């Protein structure tokens, strides 16, 4: 059982678990100090746990991060959380600072090796570090005591026996450090967890201390030198405030992270940027994931949201300038959000922070014209970076240097891959604007109308063959002249319509007739209908009635429209039309 020699109050359950585990399971000769603050110049840094073993002094940072964590460069990419700076790099810097304090107090402590270790307490936590940069300094709770007991971690030139220096170490620590009496607090925001950072900025997850149970936020605490001369201090302040200035120029949008607040500590030694704590993960994790974790349609949704946010940013005269997969968050609902505006350009201004870009720029996503001159970053270079990110997300690999040498597009539509090729054109004036890219992408994703089915010509039926009917010997053959002779009607008069032999022909002008009184008629009380006068052309032979013209007896023929109009004209005016 290790001996606890002092410390403050643990901040969270993860720290309590580590302290209890060491107290109950570590060797009896180990000494334990927890939750202390170590001064460093005009600033202080916090240490979760310090363990004095038989061969080294180890500084421990406790992380409650769960699930898979991928290491890429100097950043950690956890599942369902925003990426943050590697805690290993920051912790090793704190270890070196602590070693400096110890040697200032007691010169002989220079031979004591100060180790650093990050402990992941999540039961399902898994660190994936392809480059092996951080894994040597990371362990889980089960492997903590075994790692601390490993003498091979002591570097050459340092002692492997700390027993002669035990008292001097404790006295130096008591003279240098102080207990942490409460969780760190910035304004009304109380820290729940320190995520990581570097020498310039530290990232925390915090809650509003005045509203118990409130949602968490992300704090980016920038370190500044309040004693610097006016010009360097002004340049430092411009760099620190750049992200907030850029975000305040952008109206709220679901595809752009929101800045809640920005303020300075009283002596301006630190500045705090308060951002939404997005429950999502960096797009970087999806670039190496298997295709089954995110379908092609879902990946296109992410690309569309990224372009939607970028078009909104550009519409408000802001240029991102450092767009990469680490700056795109994918929420649990599958939506994408842009973040990482520390080096953005919020419209025309007299100063610039572009001189800091070479330190943070990922050259894979930098446009060709900006590789050697980051100050030439424009909206077109943002479009280029978005094209590289989209290509990598859809194909699983970075695009070739020459767009014409691209591999097959896989499941992505050909129109989309052509659009990404135009976004990565080496000529800036040929790259479409973000809003144009968004419109073209939506058009390419729109369902195509079904192709018309070709019409098949109907098969040609053979012409009907008329069958010859044998003549009936009982029926004599009649010639046309015989039929005409048997007709009692005058031959120069047109035959009336079938079924109504007395009806006038509707094709003749004035066929309706004129009603006049006829005092010589047999019935003096009955009007007589006088037929229309015949035109000489009416005496020509008439065409036989067509098939279907037969009507039942007593049903008059339907007059054509022109004849009805003529009849109505005569009735109204009494004149011939």
Q: How many CB atoms lie within 10 A of CB 360?
A: 15
pLDDT surpassing 90 at residue 116: yes
Model pLDDT, residue 466: 54
Would you say 336 and 345 are in contact if contact means Cβ atoms under 8 Å apart?
Answer: no
Please give the average per-residue pLDDT across 539-555, as a whole number.
Answer: 51
Does pLDDT of 314 surpass 90?
Answer: yes
Q: Which two tokens stand for residue 91?
A: 């912790």
Indicate if the pLDDT at residue 516 is higher than 50.
no
Helix axes 379-395, 296-315, angle to 10 degrees: 170
Cα angle for residues 37, 48, 201 (degrees, 5° grid): 70
Tell whether the model's pLDDT for residue 162 goes beyond 70: yes
The burial class, CB within 10 Å (0-12 / 13-18 / 19+), for 225 is middle
Centre a 10 Å sphere on the Cβ of residue 364 and count the other Cβ atoms it contains: 13
CA atoms of 480 and 21, how far apart (whole Å):
126
Identify the pLDDT of residue 450.
67
| Predicted local confidence at residue 181, as pLDDT | 61
For residue range 15-40, what is the model confidence (pLDDT) as tens digits?
889 999 999 999 989 999 888 888 77
- The yes-or-no verdict on residue 404 having pLDDT over 80 is no
Rounded distance, CA 172 to CA 105, Å? 6
pLDDT tier for residue 193 given thresholds of 50, 70 and 90:
confident
Q: What was the pLDDT predicted at 211?
A: 83
Position 527 scores a pLDDT of: 47
Query: 86 pLDDT exceeds 50?
Result: yes
Task: Looking at mean pLDDT, say which of 188-197, 223-232, 386-395 comes out highest.
Answer: 386-395
CA–CA gap between residue 160 and residue 151 (Å, rounded)? 7
For 258-271, what is the mean pLDDT?
A: 84
Whether 68 has a pLDDT exceeding 50, the answer reads yes
> 524 pLDDT band (50/70/90 cuts)?
very low
Rounded distance, CA 60 to CA 33, Å? 10
Mean pLDDT highest for which of 289-303, 448-462, 513-527?
Answer: 289-303
Give CA separation, 329 vs 302, 418, 538, in Å: 9, 25, 92
On the question of pLDDT at 518 being above 50, the answer is: no
Calculate what percentage of the chain has a pLDDT beyond 70: 75
Give me the pLDDT at residue 74, please: 85
More confident residue, 433 or 5: 433
- Average of per-residue pLDDT across 87-99: 89
CA 504 → CA 491, 532, 572, 574, distances in Å?
16, 9, 21, 20
Which residues does 205 contact at the CB level (< 8 Å), separation at least 6? 191, 192, 193, 195, 216, 217, 218, 219, 277
The two tokens of residue 255 are 């595809």
Domain spanning 282-351+359-445, CATH architecture: Orthogonal Bundle (1.10)
At 564-576, the pLDDT tens digits run 777 877 777 776 6
pLDDT of residue 79: 80
With CA atoms as reference, report the closest residue to 379 among 391, 371, 370: 370
Top-level class of domain 3-181:
alpha beta
Can you give the pLDDT at residue 471?
A: 53
Q: What is the pTM of this model?
A: 0.61
Sorted by where each begins, the domain ranges of the chain are 3-181, 183-277, 282-351+359-445, 503-515+553-577
The residues facing 207 across adjacent strands are 190
The CATH number assigned to the domain with range 183-277 reads 3.30.200.20
61: helix, strand or coil? strand
Q: Residue 239: what pLDDT? A: 86
> Is pLDDT of 522 > 50?
no
| pLDDT for the residue numbered 513 | 43
State residue 144's pLDDT score: 94
pLDDT, averaged across the chain: 80
pLDDT, residue 376, reads: 85
The pLDDT tens digits of the residues spanning 462-506 come to 665 555 555 555 545 544 444 444 455 555 444 444 444 454 554
What is the Cα gyration radius of the chain? Answer: 47
pLDDT at res. 553: 57
pLDDT for 311 equals 96
Q: How far apart are CA 496 and CA 505, in angstroms?
A: 7
pLDDT of the residue at 498: 46
> What mean pLDDT comes out for the span 270-297?
81
Strand extents, DSSP E, 28-143: 31-40, 43-52, 57-63, 68-72, 75-78, 84-85, 114-120, 126-128, 138-140
The whole-number pLDDT of residue 290 equals 59
CB 370 within 8 A of CB 382: no
Span 405-433, pLDDT tens digits: 555 556 778 899 999 999 999 999 999 99
Q: Tens digit of pLDDT for each residue in 353-363?
A: 777 777 778 88
More reliable by pLDDT, 453 or 205: 205
Q: How far apart are CA 200 and CA 223, in angstroms?
A: 6
């Amino acid at each position: 059982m290790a001996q606890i020699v002092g410390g403050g109050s643990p901040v969270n359950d993860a720290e309590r678990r580590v302290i209890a585990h060491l107290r109950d399971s570590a060797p009896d000769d180990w000494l334990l100090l927890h939750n202390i603050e170590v001064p460093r110049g005009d600033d202080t840094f916090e240490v979760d746990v310090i363990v004095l073993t038989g061969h080294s002094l180890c500084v421990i940072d406790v992380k409650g991060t769960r699930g898979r964590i991928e290491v890429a460069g100097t950043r950690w990419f956890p599942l369902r959380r925003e990426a943050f700076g590697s805690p290993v790099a920051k912790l090793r810097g704190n270890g070196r600072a602590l070693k400096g304090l110890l040697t200032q107090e007691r010169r002989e402590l220079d031979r004591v090796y100060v180790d650093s270790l990050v402990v992941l307490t999540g039961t399902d936590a898994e660190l994936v570090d392809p480059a092996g940069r951080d894994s040597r300094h990371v362990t889980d709770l089960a492997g903590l005591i075994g790692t601390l007991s490993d003498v091979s971690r002591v570097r050459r030139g340092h002692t492997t026996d700390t027993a002669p220096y035990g008292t001097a170490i404790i006295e130096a620590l008591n003279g240098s450090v102080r207990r942490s009496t409460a969780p760190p607090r910035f304004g009304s925001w109380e820290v729940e967890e320190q995520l990581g950072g570097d020498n310039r900025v530290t990232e925390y997850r915090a809650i509003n201390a005045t509203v118990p149970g409130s949602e968490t936020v992300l704090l980016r605490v920038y370190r500044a030198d309040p004693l610097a001369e006016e010009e360097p201090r002004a340049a430092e302040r411009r760099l620190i405030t750049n992200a907030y200035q850029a975000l305040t120029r952008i109206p709220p949008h679901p595809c752009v992270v929101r800045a809640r607040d920005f303020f300075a500590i009283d002596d301006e030694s630190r500045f705090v940027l308060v951002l939404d704590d997005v429950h999502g993960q960096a797009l970087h994790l999806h670039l190496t994931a298997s295709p089954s974790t995110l379908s092609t349609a879902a990946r296109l949704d992410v690309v569309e949201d990224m372009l939607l946010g970028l078009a909104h940013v550009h519409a408000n005269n802001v240029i991102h300038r450092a767009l990469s997969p680490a700056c795109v968050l994918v929420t649990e609902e599958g939506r994408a959000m842009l973040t990482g505006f520390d080096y953005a350009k919020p419209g025309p201004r007299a100063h610039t922070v572009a001189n800091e870009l070479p330190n943070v720029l990922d050259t894979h996503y930098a446009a060709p014209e900006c590789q050697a001159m980051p100050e030439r970053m424009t909206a077109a270079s943002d479009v280029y970076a978005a094209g590289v990110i989209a290509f990598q997300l859809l194909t699983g690999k970075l695009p070739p240097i020459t767009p014409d040498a691209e591999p097959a597009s896989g499941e992505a539509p050909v129109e989309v891959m052509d659009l990404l090729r135009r976004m990565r054109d080496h000529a800036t004036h040929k790259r479409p604007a973000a809003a144009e890219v968004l419109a073209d992408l939506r058009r390419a994703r729109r369902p195509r109308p079904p192709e018309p089915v070709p019409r098949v010509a109907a098969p040609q039926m053979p012409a009907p063959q008329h069958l010859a009917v044998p003549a009936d010997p009982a029926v004599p053959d009649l010639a046309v002249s015989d039929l005409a002779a048997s007709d009692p009607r005058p031959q120069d008069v047109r035959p009336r319509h079938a079924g109504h032999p007395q009806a006038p022909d509707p094709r003749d002008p004035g066929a309706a007739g004129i009603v006049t009184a006829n005092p010589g008629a047999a019935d003096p009380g009955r009007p007589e209908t006088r037929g229309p006068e015949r035109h000489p052309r009416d005496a020509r032979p008439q065409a036989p009635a067509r098939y279907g013209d037969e009507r039942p007896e007593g049903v008059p023929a339907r007059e054509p429209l022109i004849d009805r109009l003529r009849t109505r004209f005569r009735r109204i005016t009494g004149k011939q039309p």
